Amino acid sequence: MVAAATLFHVKLALSDVERNVYEQLDLRLAQHPSENKRFLVTRLVAYALSYEEGIQFSKGGVSSTDEPAVIVRDPTGRVLAWIEVGSPSAERLHRASKAAPRVAVFTSGDLSALEDAARAGEVHGAAEIEIWRLEASFLDTVGERLERRAVAELVHSGGRLYVTLDGQVLEGGVERAPLLDSNR
User: What whole-number distance in Å separates Cα of residue 96 and Cα of residue 67?
Assistant: 9
> Using one digit for the tens of pLDDT, what is the confidence trace for 18-28?
999 999 999 99
pLDDT interval class at 49 (50, 70, 90): very high
Distances (CA, A) of 81 to 31, 44, 65, 114, 153: 22, 16, 16, 19, 24
Widest pairwise Cα distance in the chain: 51
pTM as predicted: 0.94
Q: Which H or E run contains 136? A: helix 136-145
The angle subtended at Cα 176 by Cα 171 and Cα 181, nearest 5°, is 150
Percent of the chain predicted with pLDDT > 70? 95
Sheet holding 149-157, edge to edge: 21-31, 6-16, 149-157, 160-165, 168-178, 130-134, 102-107, 79-85, 70-73, 55-57
Domains of the chain: 6-178 (3.10.640.10)
Predicted local confidence at residue 61, as pLDDT:
59
pLDDT at residue 180 in the model: 87
pLDDT, one tens digit per residue, over 97-116 is 999 999 999 999 999 999 99
Q: Is the pLDDT of residue 1 over 60?
A: no
Which among 123, 107, 122 has a CA at the least distance from the CA of 177? 107
